[in-house]
Chains A and B, each alone.
Chain A
Amino acid sequence: MKAHALCLGLVVCLCSACAAPSLRYKSEVNNLIRTGQFEQAESLIASKKNKLYTQKDSVLFYLDRATLLHDDQQPRKSDELFNQAQERIDELYAKSVSASVARLFINDLTTPYYAADYERALTFFYRALNFMQLGNPMESAVEARKAVAFLDELRGTKTKGYTDDPFVQYVSSLIFESVGERSDARISRENAFKAYEKLGLRAPDFPMPADANEKGEVIIFHYNGLLPLKKSQTLQVSWDKLVSAASSPVESQNHVAPEVENAIRAGILGNAVTLAFPVLEKQLYTIAGSVAEVNGQQTPLQKAADLSLMATQDLEEKLPGIWFRLATRAVIRQTAVVQARHAVAKGADNKGLGELAGHLMSALGASLEKADTRQWFTLPAEIYMTRLFLPVGKQDITLLFKDGYGNILKTYTFEDVAIKKGGRVFLHYRTAL
């Protein structure tokens, strides 16, 4: 009895040891984002410190909150968090050997969250925009320089996958222009166009009016939708029948943690090994574009970044490594099950007890198997933008958000935007309906 209780306790402890933000929690935050309650969503995330976000997930803790504060038009607070995230990313340059080894025995959640390359590039974009909103173009240019240096390094070291970011390059070029660094602006613009072409995407094209010198410029970013969410997909592989998938439960929004379900299934199946890996689930949103209206004149915003695509490509890039570690863990766990069964059966001279030990070891292994579903999930799915050249003075700029059929679902007006001759104003708005 004591031994059973001990085993159960061990399983429960190990199950809770490597927690990650669940699909249910992410959906809860997303519901607040849908209704524009960014501050409440940020507070909800802040309340999960040391619960869903442990020390090793501090990068995510900062990024998830910083984005929402940015969306809530709180650039100073947002920048403080982005700064902390960048500092932590820098600290994590030295990869933990012990955590990497533990990945082969326990699961992928044992390592700290190392931000994906596209996520790192976006931190520079968000900070640059925060500084622009705070009226500090020189500091914004620092972020643009950091972005360009990071992307240069990527292009120099990677040949496949995410090697450059057209959107971040394009925005960097605008920022360089704003501080008079025309040469850097030209290089970034060229890199942006090359990267758009490489991705098979259309580069944004904004015509400049002949009288642009007499006007002021407004650059609007429309963050739209919700990023596809990573969720856990599990496979129970029956070892004695070679490799055959017994079942494949997917993480749902119910209250039972997937690792607990896996432990139960593995305990029943006995000679099965559980494998868990992340898959992306598309999030639904109906707004499919936007139009800016000033004094009755409408200008459609152009899609400049597809973050859903980047998230998908990032996971695809990581999948070979994930599968390798899954296979390694499967072999180690199956060996442990066989060893436990034989050792107990031999020691107790009881085949039944040996079988029980095998089942328990299998359940323990399954309870440890968790997919790494960590991601910077408060990002939008896509970013639209436009550049408007408007007469000097105060202007009301209305954004009309439309569905795929052209129906207006929502409007928002930036009131009394001060336009100065030759000046530049950066505005942003988030929707997730």
Chain B
Amino acid sequence: MKKLTLALLCATFLFACSTSVKRVETNLIKDVSGSWNDTDAQMVAQEMITDCLQAGWYNKFVTKKSKEPVVIVGTVNNKTSEHINTGVFVEEMQRALINSGKVEFVASSEERGEIRTERLEQDEFASEETRKAFGKEVGADFMLSGVLNSVIDKEGSRAVVFYQANLKLINVETNQIVWNGQKQIKKYVKRSKASW
């Protein structure tokens, strides 16, 4: 009986100290630290793109040019107090734009550079039938770029964090801003001052 109790006690301590990992749904909203997270990136991207595609510029362009606009995602500057991977945000926006089926999309400048290098190499190493020619790229009509700002009001263990994402759609030919969208997220974070 004593041995059993001892074993149970040991097991309790062992389990208490082990790391626990649990798979969760990717769309599960879970805030751990209160910092910017994947849910924020998804929310902002989805809502901003929906707003962008419903704005007046889209119908104007389609009516005038009789084709779908070609868009490129430019830089989203991080002006917050957190190291935010804006790449995740940019990818989310790109996915939302492509899936809308309303716009065509071209690769970003970084991806284009890689593809051009590949084309250069094909010029030297690929067979003539499979080689891809230069000068056939599709030029973007609009560039989507933006900035992510944050304001923190903090006192002791309490903080209110206000995120503001500003996105602009700029006509590549004329530099005209055809759409300016904004999405705000406000979080109240309270941290425990003591632990056992």
Contact = CB atoms under 8 A, between A and B. Distances in A.
Interface in B166-196: 191-196
Interface in B138-174: 152, 154, 156-157
A93 B77 CA distance: 30
Name the residue in A138, A157, A181 with the highest tally of chain B Cβ atoms < 10 Å from its Cβ.
A138
A97 B78 contact: no
Interface string A116-148: 000000000000000000000011011001100
B194 A142 contact: no
Nearest to A127: B83
Contact of A142 (B78, B154, B157, B193): B78
B77 A145 contact: no
Interface of A is mostly: helix
Interface residues of B, number: 18
Contact of A145 (B81, B157, B194): B81
Nearest to A141: B79
A76 B123 CA distance: 36
Contacts of A93: 157, 191, 193
Interface string A194-213: 00000000000000000000
Contacts of A157: 156
Given A93-B157, A153-B154, A145 B80 contact: yes
A142 B77 contact: no
A94 interface: yes
B80 A142 contact: yes
A97 B196 contact: yes
Contact of B78 (A94, A95, A138, A153): A138
A142 B80 CA distance: 6
Given A142-B80, A149-B81, A96 B154 contact: no
B12 to A, nearest CB: 18
Nearest to B156: A157
A98 interface: yes
B154 A146 contact: no
Contacts of A96: 194-196
B124 interface: no
A146 B156 CA distance: 16
Contact of B194 (A90, A97, A139): A97
Contacts, number: 38
B78 A146 contact: no
A33 B23 CA distance: 45
A93 B80 CA distance: 21
B110 interface: no
Given A149-B152, A149-B154, A153-B154, A94 B81 contact: no
Interface string B76-107: 01111111000000000000000000000000
A181 B147 CA distance: 13
Nearest to A83: B83
B3 to A, nearest CB: 24
Contacts of A142: 78, 80-83
Contacts of A90: 33
B89 to A, nearest CB: 14
Contacts of B80: 142, 145
A97 B193 CA distance: 10
Contacts of A98: 196
A89 to B, nearest CB: 13
A359 B80 CA distance: 60
Nearest to B77: A138
B193 A95 contact: yes
Contacts of B78: 138-139, 142
A90 B33 CA distance: 10
Contacts of B193: 93-95
A202 B78 CA distance: 34
Contacts of B152: 149
Contacts of B195: 94-97
Nearest to B191: A93
A146 B81 CA distance: 6
Nearest to B154: A153
Contact of A95 (B33, B82, B194): B194
Contacts of B33: 90
B31 to A, nearest CB: 15
Nearest to B192: A94
Contacts of B157: 93
Interface string A93-113: 111111000000000000000
Contacts of B82: 142
A139 B195 CA distance: 32
Contacts of A97: 194-196
B83 A94 contact: no
Contacts of A145: 80-81
Contacts of B192: 94
A145 B82 CA distance: 9
A139 B191 contact: no
Nearest to B195: A94
Contacts of A149: 81, 152, 154
B146 to A, nearest CB: 13
Given A94-B194, A138-B77, A142-B82, 12 more contacts: A93-B191, A93-B193, A94-B191, A96-B195, A96-B196, A142-B80, A142-B83, A145-B80, A145-B81, A149-B81, A153-B154, A181-B79
Closest 3 CB pairs of A and B: A145-B81, A94-B195, A94-B192
29 contacts: A93-B191, A93-B193, A94-B191, A94-B192, A94-B193, A94-B194, A94-B195, A95-B193, A95-B194, A96-B194, A97-B194, A97-B195, A97-B196, A138-B77, A139-B78, A141-B79, A142-B78, A142-B80, A142-B81, A142-B82, A142-B83, A145-B81, A146-B81, A149-B81, A149-B152, A149-B154, A153-B154, A157-B156, A181-B79
